[in-house]
Amino acid sequence: MQILLLLCCLFQPPTIDFPEGMRPPKQEIEEAPQPPEVDEFATDELYLIQSDSGLHVIPSPPGVVQVTAVKSGSVIFSKFAGGRGLEERQVTRSNGYVLRGLAAGSVELIILPAGSQDLSDMRRRVLTVKSIQHVDPITPKPDIPADDVAAAFRAYERAWRAAQGDLADRLERGEITSEAMAAEWFSAANLQARKDSFLPLLRAESIEFGGDSWTAQKHAAWIRRYANARK
């Protein structure tokens, strides 16, 4: 029995910090009210998650938010969910994850501790991403991707262009001295760009119909969205 209790203590679920709203004014009561949890943010704000344990943060469906891991101690200057305008925040726990809204809509975060295969450790959180309200009617509307596939290709285009700029810098600095070296370097950079850009699609597919839950009907129904997005 003592061994069982010890194991239960060792495998406690990780503590995860989600954004909170501004604390209400202090009142003369026995217990101060807790700040409300934040479950929505705008596309010009960041949603910061922190944890002492590594996490897999998977958005479903993909294409609404982009998840980026940040190191402990990182200082970020931006607008934040639950904040008041531009401010500076620091990642104080061992692991940080920044969510940036790509398109307005609802998204569910599926959160698993890194390395865990126990579905009981899974946490889910539904967020709402709001579009920015433009006061000036002359300003063109933001070009929002039509779906998760369009978002993936847009991310790939940005990464591809960035890799071309990096290659140009290396050529000018004399680090790459032949056409063959340039082709080899860009081939590797392009492959990594594709992997990074389309990984959210693959993760979503794995959750929806992968592994033991796969059926031809589930697979077909999910990818049919890809073909019918603009019809």
Q: Is the pLDDT of residue 200 over 80?
A: yes
Tell me what pLDDT residue 37 has: 76
Please indicate, yes or no, whether residues 175 and 121 belong to a single structural domain of this protein.
no
Residue 5 lies inside a defined structural domain of this protein: no
Kindly state whether residue 109 falls inside one of the protein's structural domains.
yes
According to the model, what pLDDT value does residue 17 have?
Answer: 75
159-175 average pLDDT score: 92
pLDDT for the residue 69: 92
Q: Is residue 136, in this structure, part of any structural domain at all?
A: no
Q: Domain containing 172: what range? A: 148-228
Q: What is the CATH number of the domain that holds 103?
A: 2.60.40.1080
Those residues whose C-beta lies under 8 Å from the C-beta of residue 175, and which sit 6 or more positions away, are none
**Does residue 105 sit in the same domain as residue 182?**
no
Q: Is residue 199 part of a domain?
A: yes
Residue 222 predicted with pLDDT over 50: yes
Q: Is this structure's pTM higher than 0.75? A: no
Question: Do the domain assignments include residue 156?
Answer: yes
> Are 49 and 123 part of one and the same domain?
yes
Q: Provide the pLDDT for residue 172.
A: 92
C-alpha 146/C-alpha 230 separation (Å) is 8
Mark whether 158 and 121 lie in a shared domain. Answer: no
Cα dihedral across residues 220, 221, 222, 224: positive or negative: positive
Q: Indicate whether 109 and 178 sit together in one domain.
A: no
Question: Does residue 10 sit within a domain?
Answer: no
From 86, 104, 130, the end of a domain falls on 130
User: pLDDT tens, 25-35?
Assistant: 544 434 444 55
Residue 68 corresponds to which tokens in the numbers above?
């980026």
Pairing of strands 65-71, 95-101: antiparallel
Classify residue 43: in a domain, yes or no: yes
Number of domains in the chain: 2
Cα–Cα distances in Å, from 125 out to 97, 110, 119, 165?
A: 14, 7, 15, 38
Q: In angstroms, rounded to a whole number, what is the distance separating the alpha carbons of residues 14 and 105?
A: 28
How confident is the model at residue 147, as a pLDDT?
79
Q: Are 67 and 110 in contact (CB under 8 A)?
A: no
The answer to whether position 50 is within a domain reads yes
- Report which secondary-structure segment, H or E, holds 106: strand 105-113
Same domain, 126 and 170: no
Contacting residues for 204 by C-beta, under 8 A, at least 6 apart: 58, 60, 61, 62, 148
Residues 111 and 172 reside in one and the same domain: no
Tell me the pLDDT tens digit for each residue of 120-146: 888 999 999 998 876 555 556 666 666
Q: Is 123 left (phi over 0), alpha (psi -120 to 50) or beta?
A: beta
Q: How far apart (Å, rounded) are the C-alpha atoms in residues 119 and 207?
A: 12
8 A C-beta contact, residue 152 and residue 200: yes
